[in-house]
Structure 1
């Protein structure tokens, strides 16, 4: 059976399809894209009688106020700082209006000839679903559907050729429709190695390799540029803390099957760096049948769990959100995870977006025969070291997902994503052509996602320079002139209010030597927000201790520090810090970071950006000083 995933290109529209449309109302493109993602090619027109599970994401109410709502509970100057919302308040505030539901449903009946009884509304009121044939959808949306084939895997997907149209009175009530423009793309983890990556035009994937195992193991701070240990990180960020409210505090890391940690590697790490934790394991929170398989990649999960657990110590439990049943893992996405921690995000009665996300119940033999929707409670801090290139996804898709992160922030959750490891380029060093096409010889900067979402905290990378001590200033992270801390400016998201003053100051004092055709820096969300060491982290891997580098290590490091701040606040009767960006960009927090002023993040045939005094699009505000951050957050309500 064909899977349905996303796609685009300019639609070739003919007048004929409109002859059967009852409404004479003018239509225009609701979404369109101009090129096919690398690795895909059209092979034939989709058969007219194939049934598509058409799903229409309805515009939610009050979204224009979401940044104001978030600032109200997150900015240190707000009288409502820390007064986080509950899930019911979030659902009620953003539920699509009755007018929106009525307009879109009436359009399906009048223009699509769809019987009213065929149309279903999701439990949270956010989606309309109706099964329609390709022929029906093409006439309704003024487009053509093709079967596209992946040149590497041979997989086939149905998608719209170029774009789709909606009447003006309907368009303003619709976020986006699937299956239409979007392709499935694999999540890329943000960990690298001391080996050069291989990239191909057919795929943005690469095959990172961990560095050679250490021959001489250190456990202190004598050689932190070569062996980054727990002691090194504590010394770098003044991070020593004994938790006292672990029964009330929560923190989690997210992994996607078949990535998994290895228990013996974890114990090797603990026996070397934190002996009291030998035998300790993260608490498994299974999402959509999440399971620790005995195949697949072990490096990412080993790194994330060892880093987070080692820094927090034996008293604080770490949750492992393991997503996927080990069978249906090729299309796993952030949406699969988000469905589980916020039931209101599920697209249709516990379902999901069939044009992009892995679908559960999984019909494959041995697959998970249910669907997790609102089954897992979000931790106060959630760290993720995976990401996409922003250009791989449509603006409507990333905007809808970004809004969900804002809702989690409203409820008091801190969402951390590593910024990436390719400087100003995307995964696999891919850049863009002027028409938006992914091109490894392109010159246009290729920002990452969700790092460029304004409602998450993006974490870049730093390093101890060779031969330097932990008391010397760090530099922006780079390895072998191949890996660099990703940073830059989104091509989709506008600059948020909390960041305007800081970024405008940067642009005034250190104007980038690029045209806006190369980098969209005039009024865009800038990232990363802060950074932490990402170089030569010593972890247990395949039965030995070896160096691993990447912003994958930086995100859980920051996560451990923020979790300890939450512990201290909870211990005195205060709440979690939630969405931290408005606070850390405020003048009150200006001296709470170690400023990074050396290094850069090249890519796309350029030198990228330089690390400079203050915020920069390489290391953000700098690295955290735990004691200073703790003192400031303890003062806040």
Structure 2
């Protein structure tokens, strides 16, 4: 018996103490606990996101190549250098492997190409023992059922080596509706989140769905088969926005691309959104005849297809708008189309990142099956070429996703910036409210469009400090093409506000400090994050009203930051064109540059209008940066020589 005692105690002595890593206080309000327990042998695709080496140097590294005052400005990194520099330490990989091996999970564990993710398929029973949790079956009001847990734990000594584990707290929603929940953040993240209520309503609507809330809005007058009689009539730009209107408003009417073989602009679309070729030609025939017959270069990602089955504004409006104006503004510069996701599963931002950066690829290594499309092969890893500028007119509410999920993705945007990519995102169309004009109910964290929703609902990825967020403006009623714009308050309201997840980046501190000093809003912390320590957005703005778009062989007036983003991205593309022509590199991550005092003159300051929402007037456009129109709208004629003067 004495000999047996040490043998019995040995495993207990070696057992690592566990601590809760993430937890959820209550199930989402649209989900209820099902009496049917999950079968213990059900397979879960467990994915463990490893802490990346040198991640604390990410912002400094990005600023070093992006700050115009840095000696390293413009010296962008190669993809290989990025992957090597941020790859997890061998200690992290080995430590997590050992933990899995202790639970009999050794032979089946795989490491991703980038070494950022460990993945293993486990049974529910194995996952529960491993994570000290209990998976339950939850039923959505739509009738669908999913497995989830309310918390999970990991060994205390591995907290510094793990960033996220999936699937755990997340809820899949095949019907496309958001589901509110309460979420209590673990202390694994260093980001500031002073807001007392951290609502995380689960997965946002499917990005390309007509009900996603990100789709641009159309005028109540609908579409007209006959062309509006405004062709090249600049005096009517306050009523109808055209290519020529934008060229004059932003001072690039005389610029013609000259380095098209070296330059690149990419437009991102999420299936089922798809452009209609005949609509491109109908638009170009009226506004840019030399572009008739032009098509974007298709980069199909994870089954991406330019579907032509479901037609109409809901499925063609976004893509037609983005491509008609981006292609029209930069012609004859070719434009690439990142078409992401198939018609069945759709996709999310992580699926795009997989294709852009092979080192990030997380299929069988970390894409969240409850939020990202999961596909049957990894052939899309790193297959899409990196465009110098990438414009995306889709987004989530920041509260749709967990902070760990957002932070890991935001870091990847920073890595793309390190490689010289300018990432442009629209800021949203509902002012301080979230998609579909939904605010957060402080009583239970649910989304609502009623007066009960008083908490502002910031957007993601606009709240990520490593992308450029674009708000919306418009010409004043009765004004001319040269009139000073105002914040867009026709049909849509420019999205803007302050993050509940990301701390304020250093490049923005002076501008935001000036805003709070001179124009501090009267709202309390119960409505928005007024700590003056978190990321503010948008960064800039561009016209987002009355775009004349061809859809289904007819023209109609379209509104949204969905228009502002590709317009601003087109202007940066032309800046890159001029720099490439004289042997310089693309501008890459532009935020440190545009926030610098040197570039202040390159933007038209917007000082009127607001972005109402959540039962409030929202924020107001004021002198200097503001959370409605950012730094203002671009003046290409001023910005071009400034950027040409940089290394």
Contact 1:190 1:551 in 2 (8 A): no
Contact 1:598 1:610 in 2 (8 A): yes
Q: Secondary structure at the match of 1:81?
A: coil
| 2:373 counterpart residue number | 358
Query: Residue 155 of structure 1 is aligned with which of 132, 144, 148?
Result: 144
Q: Which is worse superposed, 67-76 or 438-447? A: 438-447
Once the two structures are superposed, the pairs formed by residues 217-232 of structure 1 within 5 Å of their partners are: 217-219=229-231, 220-232=233-245
Check 1:209–1:386 CA distance in 2 against 1; reply closer, same or farther (3 A cut).
same
| Count of aligned residue pairs for this structure pair | 593
Deviations 1:150-190 (A, max 9, x none): 324x3332222x22122321111101000011234355669
1:143 and 1:88 map into 2 onto residues whose CA distance is 38
2:402 and 2:279 map into 1 onto residues whose CA distance is 39
| 1:456 counterpart residue number | 467
The answer to whether 1:544 aligns with 2:533 is no
| 1:273 counterpart residue number | 287
TM-score (ref. length: structure 1): 0.89
Check 1:439–1:21 CA distance in 2 against 1; reply closer, same or farther (3 A cut).
farther
Check 1:141–1:350 CA distance in 2 against 1; reply closer, same or farther (3 A cut).
closer
The answer to whether 1:61 aligns with 2:53 is yes
The answer to whether 1:346 aligns with 2:334 is no
| 2:493 counterpart residue number | 484
Contact 2:204 2:397 in 1 (8 A): no
* CA-CA distance at 1:588 after TM superposition: 0.8
1:627 and 1:33 map into 2 onto residues whose CA distance is 51
| 2:413 counterpart residue number | 405
| 1:172 counterpart residue number | 160
The answer to whether 1:322 aligns with 2:339 is yes
| 2:510 counterpart residue number | 501
| 2:309 counterpart residue number | 295
Q: Secondary structure at the match of 2:235?
A: coil
* CA-CA distance at 1:295 after TM superposition: 2.5
Query: Residue 513 of structure 1 is aligned with which of 518, 522, 526?
Result: 522
TM-score (ref. length: structure 2): 0.88
2:205 and 2:64 map into 1 onto residues whose CA distance is 33
| 1:581 counterpart residue number | 591
Query: Residue 382 of structure 1 is aligned with which of 390, 393, 396?
Result: 390
Once the two structures are superposed, the pairs formed by residues 101-112 of structure 1 within 5 Å of their partners are: 101-110=93-102
The answer to whether 1:236 aligns with 2:216 is no
Contact 2:524 2:530 in 1 (8 A): no
Contact 1:388 1:450 in 2 (8 A): yes
Deviations 1:346-402 (A, max 9, x none): 1256773323211112xxxxxxx6640011111000000000011110000000000
Query: Residue 434 of structure 2 is aligned with which of 422, 426, 429?
Result: 426
* CA-CA distance at 1:336 after TM superposition: 0.8
* CA-CA distance at 1:30 after TM superposition: 1.3
Deviations 1:458-480 (A, max 9, x none): 00000111111121111101224
1:569 and 1:517 map into 2 onto residues whose CA distance is 46
Deviations 1:410-431 (A, max 9, x none): 0000000000001111111111
2:209 and 2:482 map into 1 onto residues whose CA distance is 26
Check 1:506–1:430 CA distance in 2 against 1; reply closer, same or farther (3 A cut).
same
Contact 1:190 1:421 in 2 (8 A): no
Query: Residue 92 of structure 1 is aligned with which of 84, 104, 108?
Result: 84
* CA-CA distance at 1:86 after TM superposition: 0.3
* CA-CA distance at 1:137 after TM superposition: 1.3
Query: Residue 135 of structure 2 is aligned with which of 145, 156, 163?
Result: 145
Deviations 1:211-260 (A, max 9, x none): 42356331221211221111111111111211111110011100111110
| 1:34 counterpart residue number | 25
Q: Secondary structure at the match of 1:535?
A: coil
* CA-CA distance at 1:538 after TM superposition: 0.3
Check 1:83–1:468 CA distance in 2 against 1; reply closer, same or farther (3 A cut).
same
Contiguous gaps of at least 5 residues in structure 2: 1-10, 173-202
Deviations 1:580-631 (A, max 9, x none): 0000001111111000001111111111100000000000000000011111
The answer to whether 1:306 aligns with 2:298 is no
| 2:126 counterpart residue number | 136
Q: Which is worse superposed, 374-383 or 344-353? A: 344-353
The answer to whether 1:82 aligns with 2:74 is yes
2:291 and 2:457 map into 1 onto residues whose CA distance is 41
Contact 2:216 2:318 in 1 (8 A): no
Contact 1:350 1:373 in 2 (8 A): no
